[in-house]
Amino acid sequence: MMVAWHQTLQDPYEQAKFQNWLPIEINQISAGHYSGYIRMLEHDEVSVCWESQSRTIHKRSVIDQDSCTVSFFRNQQFANGFSEYAPAEGSLFILPAGAELDIRVAANVETVYFRFNQSVLLHKARAMDPSRWEAPPTCLLCLDLGNLESLDRFAGNLFHLAQVNNQSASDGNNEALSNIITEHILMALNSSRLISTEKNNILTARRRAKYTVNRVVDYIKAQLEQHVCPSISTICTDLQLSERTLQYSFGALLDVSPYTYLRYMRLNGVRAALMQPDNDNITITRVASHWHFLHMGRFSKDYQRMFGELPSTTLRQARHA
């Protein structure tokens, strides 16, 4: 049965938790009060997700071994980043099974993705165009659909159709809707053109920047898990990177400095801990210290500037949720 879900969001943690099919990490990387929404349609091996948030976020994960996704940005395409690609107006992205997900979504951008069982989708795609889909993709593909209007309009109609079908409680209707989704995406894929990566100096530079950013973020996470807050000089030394390379890579991919991103990671860590307190004895001072904020007055101001509320407000609301 096609099940429709909808939830308003107050935090990136909720945005990640709602998408329980994927262990995804979502960090807020622009300051201000966060709000958003997410809508989901799910039916066996097909699902559709429509999400938006009021602040810029950075999403990281790895697609599981059975799934693949087809996604696009509904608006402000040029403000976003999908791995090493800077999206254009007609950009459509395929993330195959096992591929790395690394997306920067700008504030107030709406994102839509379709999730399929990869073997089922590719079996049908191969029947329609054997030469193009003979071998399953192993990494992110960027396609040019030319015009996203038809696909965007189709996505907009899906949730209304699903609501009607749920009211009629017909498995046949839901199965038909699932088939319609699959067929529409297959037609879009076969109508698109693969973006060539050969002799593209800009894309090559962004790919190097992505590799650098991933190394640094993974390094920072590992250090923080060991209760160590690395300095920029330590990062450069341990990873053998120049500060110039570090600055360029984070600026090109995420539009923030590495120092700012490190601070955002720590602030997001504090917020996640305060939003899901594991016991009544948790204190703001203890959580802040764990994330290497030692000056409580400065921390409180930074937290309020970042999330639009005091840490005490976050903790109080979480305890009464």
Structural domain of residue 25, as residue ranges? Answer: 3-194
* pTM for this prediction: 0.92
End residue of a domain, out of 194, 225, 246: 194
How far is Cα 220 from Cα 255, in angstroms, rounded to an integer?
18
Query: Same domain for 169 and 229?
Result: no
How far is Cα 206 from Cα 194, in angstroms, rounded to an integer?
18
Query: 76-129, pLDDT tens digit by residue?
Result: 888 999 999 999 889 999 999 999 999 999 999 999 999 999 999 999 999 999
Query: Same domain for 174 and 277?
Result: no
End residue of a domain, out of 194, 209, 236: 194
Domain of residue 292, CATH code: 1.10.10.60
Query: Same domain for 163 and 252?
Result: no
Query: Same domain for 133 and 22?
Result: yes
Query: Same domain for 48 and 106?
Result: yes
Domain count, the chain: 2
Query: Same domain for 154 and 236?
Result: no
Q: Which two tokens stand for residue 313?
A: 């407000």
Query: 30-55, pLDDT tens digit by residue?
Result: 999 999 999 999 987 899 999 999 99
> How much is the mean pLDDT over the chain?
92
pLDDT of residue 2: 73
End residue of a domain, out of 175, 194, 213: 194
